[in-house]
Amino acid sequence: MPEYLAPGVFVEETSYRAKTLEGVSTTTTGFVGPTRSGPVCLEPDLVTNLSEFEQVYGDGQPLVFGATTMPNFMWHAARAFFSEGGKRLYVSRTFLPLDTNKGAATSPYAPVDATAELIAAKTADSKLYLDGHARYMVPVEVQRPEDPTKPDSPLKKVVENQLAIRYRHPGAAGNLRVRVSAKLGRNLLGVDANGKGVLGTLSQNDLVWIYGSQPSETDAKKMEKKGDLYLAQWNETDTAWNFKPKSGDSVSIDELVVSPNSGEGDTVRVVTLSISLLTLDGSSEIAAWNGLPVHPDHATAGMVDSLFVRFANTPASIGDARRTPLVIAKHVEIKTAFDVLPLILGGTISTPNSDNTILQFVAKEETTPKSFVDLILTGGHDGARPTSTEYEGKSDPTKLYSTGLKQFEEIEDISIVAAPGITWGYAGEPQKQANATMALLIAHAEKMRYRIAVLDSAQGQTISDVRNMRAKIDSKHAALYYPWVKIVDPITRLEADFPPSGFVAGIYARNDVERGVWKAPANEVVRLATGFESNISKAQQEVLNPEGINCFRFFEGRGNRLWGARTISSDPEWKYVNVRRYFAYLERTIEKGTQWAVFEPNGDHLWANVRRTIEDFLLNEWQSGALLGSKPEQAYFVRCDRSTMSQNDLDNGRLICQVGVAPIRPAEFVVFRVGQWTADRRG
């Protein structure tokens, strides 16, 4: 209560309304599985269309797992999801490193350690890196002690990688071309009214190229610069810029030749790197970065911003970690820009080009100056086909990362989960892994309570095969769909069959938006479908439907439709998908919307407020057609009073509210009874 200590007029704000509940989203989906590119250990980013998916997780080209090539089911599932009406998608990428020498999986994937970047190993007789990342290494012959523990140990020559450029994420999609050039900025050296040299904007440790003409006779003491690299260093004592060469004494601005006439005198131009990421054949540019400072300790306005910071192994933000495709690492002995430039360009500096925009260099064993160098990233691969272990994932709180389904445990918004492609090749060796992964999806959905797992049948299954698959699983938090959907593959431009889960998740989302989560997601057109792997007849569905196997069917004049909405639960109370999902919607909405009640005084006023809040929400649901009953009293009840709580509950701080609703179940069997009627019969 406010305090009134002095006489006066006091105006206060108060509320006479009950709290309101806002329905939570039920359309956000999570897909887990292998992709062409993208982060494995980072928190998944929300994507809202196929273009955003491709920017992070790559295109739809097939995945190569050792000697096996598999369609890119995750890309196709994302395409189907958005085409069928989905809006929000999280993706958890699975990746299993491959022992390229043995053709078998190695240890689980973990983030690349920055300290080990320069010693990333390949297996013997292999051109592929063990961790799956494509790289370009710059080896240099250096002198090292034979025994580092002894100060007087004799030196020996060894070859070490002094610089490494790596594609940030594992996968064959990282085998690309990196084009590097040294760009020259405008001339920063000018002359003031007194004839003294002045400089434009410089930053500490800027690498500059100083080039000049012959000094005049009156400037005999001036230094002639035929062209060389210097580091810009601010002299606090003289409050002026000095230029430090790789060796020798620094040069002050007073030692440079200045002229008011254009084209005369020295020029001072900042050297920065431009890096472009191209396709392997160099025909298309994927990304480009300009104006990258060369010196490792370069700073602008006090912020270190060199190319090693821009392409750091651990960037400043998680957004950069997802979307910056390159990592550039250097040996600890690389201290200055004079060390970096020859390593990354692979040669010695020559002269600028004719228009003074690019600093040319001469590569080793060549004589012709070049304007750029192409560095080829190699050794990236898609690993081995992920197993149930990768789908389950792991969470390492000490290193602050998680993988697989563990990533989805930290995201509250997800309502639908699926693992497209796990049943590919089900009749063979992958069957055990597929069954284990389906069990993990179900366990995840049950653990998270407000989710449903969309399960795929296997390609080429017969009626008895899919019934055998269904017999092994039982859950009110999962639904199984059969058969696979036939579409025109935009990659091959041929018809092909793909798992149902991507299409079903999109149909769920479309149904929720257009009608409501309470409406059964069935009798819906499959927009992308040109047909199905097999045409299910009514007699066949009469066998499958009672067992909770939802079918896709073709109807003459009505197209390709999803024709089933049952869970795989043996409990008849949770027979229908829409009932399960609607209760998840109600429970999550009530949980999220009544957090304000925690620690409020547990008495009649609070109970009435809670009742009124939930009743207002359920009234709106009934008016929308989500609940059964001709009047509200038949559709729902809310009790929160002494009848629901004992004194023991009150003493232990428990508020117990009972909510009952009469959900709408689908008219799965529409029966019209038609009989003969005589004209003289009275009603």
CB 455 within 8 A of CB 480: yes
b/e burial code for range 294-309 (CB count within 10 A of at least 16 → b): bbbebbeeeeebbbbb
pTM of the model: 0.90
CB 257 within 8 A of CB 219: yes
In the predicted structure, residue 104 carries a pLDDT above the cut 60: no
In the predicted structure, residue 382 carries a pLDDT above the cut 60: yes
Strands (E), 168-266: 177-184, 189-191, 197-199, 207-211, 228-235, 240-244, 251-252
The bridge status of strand 549-555 relative to strand 478-482 is parallel
Of 5-14, 230-239, 385-394, where does mean pLDDT reach its minimum? 230-239
Q: Name the strands in the sheet holding 326-330, side by side, starting at the edge strand that comes first in the sequence.
A: 135-145, 155-167, 326-330
Q: Name the residue with higher pLDDT: 259 or 284.
A: 284
Mean pLDDT of 347-361: 85
Number of Cβ within a 10 Å radius of residue 8? 6
CB 330 within 8 A of CB 308: yes
In the predicted structure, residue 224 carries a pLDDT above the cut 60: no
Helices 73-83 and 50-57, interaxial angle, to 10°?
160
DSSP H helices in 284-430: 307-310, 318-323, 337-345, 388-392, 405-408
C-alpha span between 330 and 315 (Å, rounded): 15
The pLDDT value given to residue 105: 60
CB 390 within 8 A of CB 403: yes
In the predicted structure, residue 678 carries a pLDDT above the cut 90: no
C-alpha span between 467 and 16 (Å, rounded): 57
Rg over alpha carbons for the chain, rounded to the nearest Å, is: 34
Q: Which residues 6+ apart lie within 8 Å of 220 measured at CB?
A: none
b/e burial code for range 48-62 (CB count within 10 A of at least 16 → b): eebeebbbbbbebeb
The sign one gets for the Cα dihedral 289, 294, 296, 298 is negative
In the predicted structure, residue 173 carries a pLDDT above the cut 50: yes
- Which CATH number is correct for 29-96+385-578, 3.40.50.11780, 3.30.1440.10, 3.10.560.10, 2.40.170.20? 3.40.50.11780
Confidence class for position 218, pLDDT limits 50, 70, 90: very low
> What pLDDT digit, counting tens, does each position of 574-628 carry?
999 999 999 999 999 999 999 999 999 999 999 999 999 999 999 999 999 999 9
The pLDDT value given to residue 602: 96
Token pair recorded at residue 346: 């692979």
> What pLDDT digit, counting tens, does each position of 421-457 carry?
999 999 877 899 999 999 999 999 999 999 999 999 9
Confidence class for position 398, pLDDT limits 50, 70, 90: confident
Token pair recorded at residue 306: 């060199």
The pLDDT value given to residue 683: 55
C-alpha span between 351 and 212 (Å, rounded): 12
H/E stretch holding 56 reads helix 50-57
> What pLDDT digit, counting tens, does each position of 175-207 carry?
999 999 999 999 888 887 777 878 888 888 899
In the predicted structure, residue 221 carries a pLDDT above the cut 70: no
Strand partners, 535: none
Q: Which residues 6+ apart lie within 8 Å of 145 measured at CB?
A: 153, 154, 155, 156
C-alpha span between 551 and 463 (Å, rounded): 11
C-alpha span between 78 and 178 (Å, rounded): 29
In the predicted structure, residue 506 carries a pLDDT above the cut 90: yes
- Boundaries of every domain in the chain: 1-21+602-683, 29-96+385-578, 181-306+335-374
C-alpha span between 222 and 210 (Å, rounded): 14
Angle at 60 between CA 137 and CA 64, to 5 degrees: 55
Tokens 């201290």 sit at which residue? 335
The pLDDT value given to residue 381: 93
In the predicted structure, residue 73 carries a pLDDT above the cut 90: yes
Mean pLDDT of 83-110: 83
Token pair recorded at residue 596: 């304000």
Q: Which residues 6+ apart lie within 8 Å of 585 measured at CB?
A: 23, 24, 26, 450, 517
Which amino acid, one-letter code, is at 76? H
Half-sphere exposure of 111 toward its Cβ, with a 13 Å CA cutoff? 21
The bridge status of strand 197-199 relative to strand 373-376 is unpaired
Rounded to 5 degrees, φ, ψ at 253 are -65, -25
Token pair recorded at residue 37: 């590119």
Burial of 355 (0-12, 13-18, 19+ CB in 10 A): exposed
Give, in order, the Cα–Cα distances in Å from 32 to each of 392, 408, 485, 502, 543.
Answer: 9, 9, 19, 11, 31
Q: How far is CA 39 from the centre of its chain?
A: 6
DSSP H helices in 515-658: 538-544, 577-593, 604-623, 632-635, 647-651
Of 12-16, 327-331, 511-515, 537-541, where does mean pLDDT reach its minimum? 12-16
Rounded to 5 degrees, φ, ψ at 610 are -65, -45
Work out the percent of the chain whose per-residue pLDDT is above 70: 95
CB 128 within 8 A of CB 170: no
Half-sphere exposure of 460 toward its Cβ, with a 13 Å CA cutoff? 6
Work out the percent of the chain whose per-residue pLDDT is above 90: 64
